[in-house]
Amino acid sequence: MTQLALVIDLNVCVGCQACVTSCKEWNTSGSAGPMGDQDPYGADPTGTFFNRVQTFEVGEFPNTETVHFPKSCLHCEDPPCVPVCPTGASYKRKEDGIVLVNYDKCIGCKYCSWACPYGARELDEQQQVMKKCTLCVDRIYDMTMAADDRKPSCVKACPTSARLFGDIHDPESAVSIAIRESGGYALMPEWGTHPANHYLPRRKTRIKIHDDELERADNPLKVDRQLPRPAMNEPTLDDVTTW
Amino acid sequence: MHPAFSVIFLTTLIGAAQGLFLALFTAQSYAAFKLLPQPDAHAFYGQGSLIALVLLVAGLGASFFHLGHPERAWRSAAMWRTSWLSREVIVLPGFMGVVFLYGLAHWLNWHPVLMILPGELPVDPTAILGVAGTVLAFALFVCTGMIYACLKFLAEWHSPLTVINYILLGGASGFSLAAAFAAVTAPELVSFLSGWAVIITLLGWVGRAASLYRNARLKPKSTLQTAIGIKHPKIAQKAQGFMGGSFNTREFFHGQSVEMLRGVKWFFLIAVFPLPLVFLLSGMHGGAGLLAAAFTVQYAGLLAERWFFFAQANHPQNLYYRCIS
Ligand code: SF4
Ligand code: SF4
């Protein structure tokens, strides 16, 4: 069985909100209807988004790290939001594991949003139906698009490639490899929802440079007991001289 | 959670109606076994059912204000296999239908004997409808309670006490109403009904106190650490992704001060339990005004109780919305 999902690399997300705006642009223009905004230029703007990027500060000053945290529906493998829906408007697709809302059936009772521990669902004030990330289901199967474009809009927009998209049930997919090899994890595992989306943790990036990588031990000048010029502590151009 | 008035009125109104119906049929059963005098069926059971029906219709009407698309409400009966909300949507009209027929049979004094139970006990349609209504009344309490109790993330609700309290508090207000109603239409039943109202109110007091005690000691299962998956004791949110409000900040926060919450709690703890008990005990021997006061105070208290029930529930999604920018 296929389970499409996003894998989000918190190590490289810079919090630029490009995924937020591209998501809104793509999905508000689609056939499913607009993602309404209320009072967009007023004092208290609000509106529907499928994807939000939040920011957290981890640690204590001065040893802090800023973590940008994109959050959208995680397309849980055991979605608690689906069985509670009284109309069957919320459903999980067998063929690819995407959790969707049928806007024509939804009565806007909000019960599913209570049953999602992640706050991934938002009631659209304009259409009065429940909305959430669709994994761009209207993009990823659109054969009129170039193969490279058949990805969720957010994935295409991310300038740092922090968002990977693929089938987490295929052990050889890029997302499965990333989860396996880079310590991918799920949010709130304590509820047994088995989110399909995973996050890759922050990693410390360190390189070890050994002395002999900066200074050759077998420099022929040194073998001849001469010092290379310019001196080690003088400014040099690469390749002009080597120590 | 943000307490929605539509749901507060729905649950309290239908709870009182269910309790009232149970009170009517309890009285009828006792009378059938000759443990109570037979009241004027037309007035007491017939009009009593009408009151229950009015409350049910009012509750149902209130619930429509909760929906974004009330015109599609009929669709919500579809998923009864998995959804307690769907089950409630089916049981509620079923119960209303039975209450209607039960009241109608009494109203028309339609009492053909269908069979005789051992001990010379005649069974007429109202007895059968009464049993069906009792089953449906309890089924409706269970559905309503389970809508909340089945959400495991909302620890304050995820407990059998939620269902038990829906039964007890609905029962208490219904029996209080029945006692006040009997003071006008069937004085011989007043002490019986107010006695039961006292007992159920006392049980409700114990049940609600138990859930308050439990909720005060809950330890949230989710933390900011599990929410974003970073294992560091010090995490502070700096931005939630937008500067204005969103559905997430409106639906899941009550937005009231701690003092307000505490005030509402003490108000309902007094108005639902001790005050009605005083009125019930002093009106037990026929004080219609006192019994009406008992129900009115108790119902007002239950509105506060339900408000508090929602406000107290702390949704784990709130972990993601702690700071605006
Ligand atoms: S993240 Fe929430 S809305 Fe999405 S599938 Fe999981 S429970 Fe449902
Ligand atoms: S808001 Fe819509 S999708 Fe959600 S539970 Fe209600 S009917 Fe189902």
Asked if pLDDT for residue A214 goes beyond 90, the answer is no
Instruction: Please tell me the predicted confidence (pLDDT) of residue B213.
Output: 98
Express each pLDDT in A33-44 by its tens digit: 899 999 999 999
- Short-list B190, B176, B182, B177, CA closest to B40: B182
Express each pLDDT in A136-168 by its tens digit: 999 999 999 999 999 999 999 999 999 999 999
DSSP H or E segment with residue B35: none
Asked if pLDDT for residue A239 goes beyond 60, the answer is no
Shortest CA gap A125–chain B (Å): 9
The pLDDT confidence band at residue A220, using thresholds 50, 70 and 90, is confident
CB B127 within 8 A of CB B32: yes
Q: What is the DSSP string of A55-102?
A: EEEEEETTEEEEEEEEEE----SS-THHHH-SSS-EEE-TTT--EEE-
- Percent of chain B at pLDDT > 90 equals 88
Asked if pLDDT for residue A240 goes beyond 60, the answer is no
Rounded CA-CA distance A55/A15 in Å is 7
* Span from the CA of A99 to the centroid of ligand 1 (angstroms): 7
**Which residue CA neighbors atom 7 of ligand 1 most closely?**
A116
Asked if pLDDT for residue B159 goes beyond 90, the answer is yes
The partner residue sitting opposite B234, judged by closest CB among A60, A86, A186, is A60
- Determine contact: A86 vs chain B, CB below 8 A: yes
ipTM comes to 0.93
The pLDDT confidence band at residue B125, using thresholds 50, 70 and 90, is very high
C-beta atoms of A109 and B66 within 8 A: yes
* Span from the CA of A82 to the centroid of ligand 2 (angstroms): 9
Instruction: Please tell me the predicted confidence (pLDDT) of residue A74.
Output: 98
SS3 B237: strand
Instruction: Please tell me the predicted confidence (pLDDT) of residue B23.
Output: 98
Rounded CA-CA distance B18/B26 in Å is 12
Class (C level, CATH) for B5-224+235-319: mainly alpha
Instruction: Please tell me the predicted confidence (pLDDT) of residue B113.
Output: 87
The partner residue sitting opposite B245, judged by closest CB among A20, A46, A190, is A46
Express each pLDDT in A58-96 by its tens digit: 999 999 999 999 999 999 999 999 999 999 999 999 999
By most ligand atoms within 8 Å of CB, the mutation choice from A6, A50, A81, A131 for ligand 1 is: A81
The pLDDT confidence band at residue A204, using thresholds 50, 70 and 90, is confident
- Short-list A101, A127, A109, A102, CA closest to B89: A109
Instruction: Please tell me the predicted confidence (pLDDT) of residue A205.
Output: 82
Instruction: Please tell me the predicted confidence (pLDDT) of residue A222.
Output: 79
Identify the weakest region by mean pLDDT among A13-17, A212-216, B38-42, B218-222: A212-216
Asked if pLDDT for residue B182 goes beyond 80, the answer is yes
Minimal-distance CA residue of chain B relative to A88:
B79
**Which residue CA neighbors atom 6 of ligand 1 most closely?**
A76
Instruction: Please tell me the predicted confidence (pLDDT) of residue A242.
Output: 66
C-beta atoms of A191 and B77 within 8 A: no
Q: Which residues of B touch A63 (CB under 8 A)?
A: none
Asked if pLDDT for residue A24 goes beyond 80, the answer is yes
Burial (0-12, 13-18, 19+ Cβ within 10 Å), B165: buried
Average pLDDT, stretch A215-231? 78
